[in-house]
Structure 1
Amino acid sequence: MKKILAILLLLVTGLSSYGQFGNQMGGIGDQKPVTWKYSVEKISETDFNLIFKATIAPEWHLYSQFNPPGGSLPLEFQFKNTGTDFELVGQAEESDTFTEYNDIFEVDETFFKDEAVITQRIHLLKSDIKAVQGSLSGQVCINVCIQVDEDFAFSLTGEKAEVEKKVVSDKDAELSSKLVLPLKNTHYLKGEQEDQSFWKVLLLGFLGGLIALFTPCVFPMIPLTVSFFTKQSKDRKKGIANAMLYGFFIVFIYLLLSVPFHLFDTLDPEILNNISTSVGLNVTFFVIFLFFAFSFFGYYEITLPSSWGNKMDSASNVGGIVGIFFMAVTLAIVSFSCTGPILGSLLAGSLSSDGGAMQLTAGMAGFGLALALPFALFALFPNLLNSLPRSGGWMTTTKVVLGYLELAFAFKFFSNADLVMHWGILKREVFIAAWVIIFILLTLYLFGVYRFPHDGPKGKLSKGRLGVGIVSAAFSVYLVLGLVGVNELKLLSGFPPPSSYSLFAENNEEKELNIFKDLDEGLAYAEENDKIVMLDFTGWACVNCRKVEEQIWTDPTVEKILQDEIVIISLYVDDRKDLPEEAQFNYQYDSGRVKTIETIGDKWATFQAINFKSASQPFYVLMTPDYEVLNVPQQYVPTEEYLAWLKTGLQNAGK
């Protein structure tokens, strides 16, 4: 936990570097931090200089071969056939380097800026050697670091040298070829698919920030901070400007927390999906959310080291823009015991959704905006400070309510792991029963039946507490009705396990619709019955996938189209079940990178990325059995839009 908190502080205080990083890495594949060129200088018939020239993006550091142990990873060069075809003459020579103390690793690091030239002399042991091949590895950093791995080839004859691609077996090549579809009408795949949920996540983050405002760690700081700006400034106009700058820095700090996740998404578009569906990560989130919940119940406090807050507080005395920035950092640190669990929920929810890094950025922007808004608003209208309620027991009640919500979300993450691994521990009825117990306990607490350690003396229940208690009681009744089958819990679509994952039924969804989980079987059935195909890229832990299945597919008009005209082929990209040994293989990308396909999820995630250049779920593709794409693939959208998309596909198919 301490390491995680230290990383969070690094993210917050790395202001200028992360801003530059975001500009440089603005899009997937827009720019590599380092690019290499290779050339040869002939010294004699048997001696050559191999010259490696690296162009390094501004502000990035590429680390020297001689970077000391304990720091960032040094450059390493590996040559094929040394000792048999040729030998290295001495150590490689480097162009000018820079040395700077790294207070994280506590070593003097040696690195290149802007450009690096490394020269390695070789002596041939055989006269007929025409090329030298090998690979290099290292690290390039701008506070966050990424691995540098590249194969190289030098021609000793002046002809073009090609890097030998890794050889895969005939079996690998055959199974790899089956992943690539001979698609027609691929112009549809270039259509832009708007991320409809970006604004939704922004709103949810904003609501999370509003909730954080009413916690004991944040609420009392609002009048104190606003008064500081309005009274300490020479004039009211300057005070308002400083308060608004303070609010801007709050938003900016929380935005910075999402920057590294864009790096992960840039390096491998599938990585956030793999992280979010990781069994280990979901079980870890389950444990962490339990830990957060009991913190909100008052059994202990989650705080960052007090020294961090003291340092930031001291830095805030500098004055000017820098001082205001560190005041905002101080707020983030001292309020962590209340905001940390909410931010943890936001992080977990974003990684488990279908937008990855962009979802997290949207959520963090909303969260920071909600925290910053009161400081700017009350600076503009200071008389409104008198209308703020006084601090009191209501803030403790807010924390307890949040604790029960954290407890409910904990079961969602354990459910994700259970679904992916097919353990059968948290079937739909068990999950709903757990939520029934949680919200009944919350209702009893709000009605004053029992108290927690940090609650004040028992007194008359406020109207607000009674109102929330009634809402919690009504929600408990709603859950009980869902548990006994009176309603379908459509308000919660995506949270409980699907109806097919039940103690009493199996594969209910397949009784009404034409659903296959095998691609070849589904295509054959569609061709035989003159139907079109809908590829359904889904996941056991995908919330929006469940919403589509339980809310949109059950709409009478949509359901009729799916029954009469369409064969659904559901491909689970997060299924951790191993493929049969004979179906496992290595897939080689055009770049030469090799990916091992061992599980069902590996296969369909790679299949989706190769054919449709997408790694999000849900993701729907309409096509004919002979691979003619019928319209632009669709993601999670409202029922009306989904229905229009189906009708367009049918019309393009001549149905």
Structure 2
Amino acid sequence: MKKQIVVSLALFLSFLIVHSQTDEEPAVWSHEVEKLSDLEYKLTFKAAIFKEWYIYSLYTAEGGSMPSEFEFINAGVDYELIGKTVEGKTYTKYTEVFDVDETFFKNEALFEQKIKLIDPDLKQISVILYYQICKEVCVLREEVFEISLDGSTFVSQKKKTIDERSALMSSALKLDLKNKELLEQSELNSTEGSSALWMVFGLGFLGGLIALFTPCVFPLIPLTVSFFTKQSQNKSKGIVNAVLYGFFIVLIYFLLSLPFHIFDSVDSQILNTIATNIWLNIFFFLIFVFFAFSFFGYYELTLPNSWANKMDAASSKVGGILGIFFMAMTLAIVSFSCTGPILGGLLGSTTLAEGSVATNLTFGMTGFGLALALPFALFALFPAWLNSLPKSGGWMTTVKVTLGFLELALAFKFLSNADLVGNWGILKREIFLAIWILIFVLMTLYLFGVFRFKHDGPKQKLSKARKALGLLSVLATIYLIMGVFNLISLKTLSGFPPPEFYSINEKASDCPLGLNCFKDFEEGVAYAKTENKPILLDFTGWACVNCRRMEEKVWSKPTIYPILRDDYVLISLYVDDRKELEKEKQFDFKYDSGRIKTIETIGQKWGTFQTINFNSASQPYYALLTPDLEVLNSGVQYVDAVTYEEWLRQGLKRFQASSE
């Protein structure tokens, strides 16, 4: 039963993530028809693929990702295919997950298929393309091509059309950008990806170190090391076995991250999936509250006992290297009640970090496993160190409860995401910080022994370590209180609390850092024309962590803030805003491929606006324009302050030069 619950939760989570993808299409399709003779035609299908996305080939290797597939309706009846579908330029890359070389398109996909008519009077055909489009996350798509062979309008009773009003509004959403090629000319995006991965690795390693001091793991260290050193025929053999045991621990936690790569379902910055899906955020909130109360001792999270028994029996029966592997697996299972919530917290942290969630999780899980494994190898090499280990006791319960409070604080981050995207106004910045203050006050009171949980041991004199931990909690509480009253800046927490403009203070500006901003593109452009200033176009999101980091850590710099305030007109467009547009402003948008999408919310409008004009579907994304819609510099995303300042100044120079 427990196994079924775990599998069901995993499938439910995967379903939510896949179905929470942005409505914007990262590939824009078109088709052409070339008449070769009276009965033969060449059909060409093209896709402009957004930067960093890719589509798999029709002929990618078996056993890998799902290939693209064409369905030619009524082929063999009205017409026949001549030869195989020919592809344009493709790329090949080895994929460790499937152990194959996969073939894919990037930037542009091109397919050509020759046909010969069986029915000489045939005037139109339909073709369906099934494909995956990926950028860490893979999304299944279906594109329908309705093709006229003689240049006439395709006639279909089932084809959805748009009225004149929607056609005009669709046309208005497309900009006539001048120097558009400048958007892609230079790569100014920060190269912090690798450092971010090592930061996630460090977080995982820290989580593993903390897990070592929990009741589920700590007592096993001397027992396991003694087993290897005493049961082996000689000391060197015992050391080798202990080191091998540690290696298998690292391997197991590394392997646990691989399903996220296989599913291709977790968004890297759940910054565009988790961070923008209300129900998924609420789901994560409930999960983390559940984890927290398990650490408080109200119940225990355990995997089925039969799993541990089977692993233990296998290790005794098999012996040798394979037996040591099963011993490591047994440790992972029996320690789950302590490591499970920590790993859950690690998952939550990786969804808030820059980059691919699956890659982040692999680094984090590997760091976690390494921290767990190190003591077994080190104490086997230096067994005398075992005497310096503290004795098991109530201090391990203190560690668990402290982790519970931290899990509870993290839970409210996900509830805050749901509130921001839904614009409910429940968890305004001050309320969110007040909840965190309450959590840290309770943690402080617990650490100083003011109250206890039912699974705490007999009351004893507080240790120095517990007092030190309590003092840190006091300092964290004071820090948060001073932040609420604006006595200090909470930059170190940037991205976690709601933005400063999401405030209960009705007089507070609804723009970042109190800047003057517009949330409608047309209004902002009109103002820029009257002021003769360049435009900083800011594609952002209510729950976009990196957007908040840019605003609070980069925009706030003394050398950058005056430029934003005085030299640019800021237009901030929120692509995850779920507020419905007024009925008269809702419309059907028609893509060049013929696909029609209903624009009902503010976020849908600006998200579509971003994808069709700037070939991007991620946030933050910044573009510099003149009031006449001339591009002034390349588009940038999450960058450091030095790069961003230089980018702004380059845009100003080009604007001044164009105005002379």
Task: Output the TM-score relative to the length of structure 1.
Answer: 0.73
Structure 2 partner of 1:274: 273
TM-superposition CA deviations, 1:556-582 (whole Å, max 9, x none) = 222111111122221222211223345
Distance 1:434 1:457 in 2: 30
Q: Which moved more, 1:1-10 or 1:302-311?
A: 1-10
Distance 2:407 2:229 in 1: 37
Distance 1:497 1:285 in 2: 17
Which amino acid is the alignment partner of residue 373 of structure 1? L
Q: Which moved more, 1:330-339 or 1:501-510?
A: 501-510
TM-superposition CA deviations, 1:432-485 (whole Å, max 9, x none) = 221222111111111111111111000111000011111212222222233334
Distance 1:562 1:415 in 2: 28
Q: Counterparts of 1:195-344 in structure 2 under 5 Å?
A: 195=193, 197-262=196-261, 273-317=272-316, 318-344=318-344
Distance 1:250 1:615, change over 3 A: farther
Distance 1:132 1:407, change over 3 A: same
Which amino acid is the alignment partner of residue 558 of structure 1? I
1:343 deviates by 1.7
1:211 deviates by 1.5
Distance 1:80 1:533, change over 3 A: same
CA contact (8 A) 1:621 1:634 kept: yes
Structure 1 partner of 2:18: none
Structure 2 partner of 1:620: 622
Identity %: 58
CA contact (8 A) 2:421 2:576 kept: yes
Distance 1:397 1:191, change over 3 A: same
Q: Which has the higher contact order (CA 8 A, sep 6+)?
A: 2
Distance 1:478 1:268, change over 3 A: closer
Distance 1:308 1:79, change over 3 A: farther
1:637 deviates by 4.2
Which residue, out of 173, 185, 189, partners 1:188?
Answer: 185
Which residue, out of 555, 558, 576, partners 2:557?
Answer: 555
Q: Counterparts of 1:510-521 in structure 2 under 5 Å?
A: 510=511, 512-521=514-523
Distance 2:487 2:613 in 1: 43
* In the alignment, structure 1 residue 447 sits paired with structure 2 residue 461: no
Distance 2:246 2:613 in 1: 45
Structure 1 partner of 2:545: 543
Q: Residue 404 of structure 1 aligns to a residue in which SS?
A: helix
Distance 1:509 1:54, change over 3 A: closer
Q: Counterparts of 1:101-500 in structure 2 under 5 Å?
A: 128=121, 133=126, 135=128, 169=162, 174-177=168-171, 178-179=173-174, 182=177, 183-188=180-185, 193-194=190-191, 195=193, 197-262=196-261, 273-317=272-316, 318-357=318-357, 358-500=359-501
Distance 1:322 1:192, change over 3 A: farther
CA contact (8 A) 1:270 1:615 kept: no
Distance 1:640 1:155, change over 3 A: closer
1:199 deviates by 2.9
Distance 1:294 1:606, change over 3 A: same
Which amino acid is the alignment partner of residue 600 of structure 1? I
CA contact (8 A) 1:512 1:563 kept: no
1:430 deviates by 1.6
Distance 1:345 1:262 in 2: 19
TM-superposition CA deviations, 1:87-146 (whole Å, max 9, x none) = 9xxxxxxxxxxxxxxxxxxxxxxxxxx9xxxxxxxxx9988558875658799xxxx998
Distance 1:623 1:455 in 2: 62
Distance 1:152 1:633, change over 3 A: closer
Structure 2 regions of 5+ residues with no counterpart?
12-25, 27-56, 80-101, 103-116
1:635 deviates by 3.5
Which amino acid is the alignment partner of residue 530 of structure 1? N
1:60 deviates by 5.1
Distance 1:550 1:325, change over 3 A: same
Which amino acid is the alignment partner of residue 504 of structure 1? N
Q: Residue 272 of structure 2 aligns to a residue in which SS?
A: helix
Task: Output the TM-score relative to the length of structure 2.
Answer: 0.72
Which amino acid is the alignment partner of residue 462 of structure 1? S
CA contact (8 A) 1:514 1:566 kept: no
1:347 deviates by 1.8
1:206 deviates by 2.2
Which amino acid is the alignment partner of residue 381 of structure 1? F
Structure 2 partner of 1:567: 569
Which amino acid is the alignment partner of residue 556 of structure 1? P
CA contact (8 A) 1:80 1:134 kept: no
Distance 1:519 1:55, change over 3 A: same
1:349 deviates by 3.0
CA contact (8 A) 1:250 1:328 kept: yes
Q: Residue 535 of structure 1 aligns to a residue in which SS?
A: strand
Distance 1:498 1:262, change over 3 A: same
Structure 1 partner of 2:63: 59
Structure 1 regions of 5+ residues with no counterpart?
11-28, 30-52, 64-74, 88-113, 115-123, 157-161
Distance 1:249 1:173 in 2: 61
Q: Residue 556 of structure 1 aligns to a residue in which SS?
A: coil
1:362 deviates by 3.2
Distance 1:230 1:501, change over 3 A: same
Distance 1:62 1:640 in 2: 42
CA contact (8 A) 2:254 2:369 kept: yes
Which amino acid is the alignment partner of residue 430 of structure 1? I
Distance 2:161 2:267 in 1: 22
CA contact (8 A) 2:291 2:341 kept: yes
Distance 1:541 1:131, change over 3 A: closer
Distance 1:369 1:611 in 2: 46
Which amino acid is the alignment partner of residue 359 of structure 1? N
Q: Residue 621 of structure 1 aligns to a residue in which SS?
A: strand
1:649 deviates by 3.6
Q: How many residues align?
A: 558
Structure 1 partner of 2:42: none
Distance 2:268 2:608 in 1: 11
Distance 1:9 1:423 in 2: 28
Q: Residue 458 of structure 2 aligns to a residue in which SS?
A: coil
Distance 2:483 2:633 in 1: 37
1:615 deviates by 4.0
Q: Residue 559 of structure 2 aligns to a residue in which SS?
A: helix
Which amino acid is the alignment partner of residue 600 of structure 2? E
Distance 1:267 1:397 in 2: 33
Root mean square deviation, CA, Å: 4.3
Distance 1:313 1:221 in 2: 14
Q: Residue 409 of structure 2 aligns to a residue in which SS?
A: helix
Distance 1:326 1:145 in 2: 34
TM-superposition CA deviations, 1:503-545 (whole Å, max 9, x none) = 2234425485231111222233223323222222222122332
1:228 deviates by 3.7
Q: Residue 273 of structure 1 aligns to a residue in which SS?
A: coil
Q: Counterparts of 1:80-91 in structure 2 under 5 Å?
A: none
CA contact (8 A) 1:264 1:272 kept: no
Distance 1:365 1:320 in 2: 24
Which amino acid is the alignment partner of residue 460 of structure 2? G
Distance 2:239 2:592 in 1: 56
Which amino acid is the alignment partner of residue 255 of structure 1? F
Distance 1:174 1:240 in 2: 75
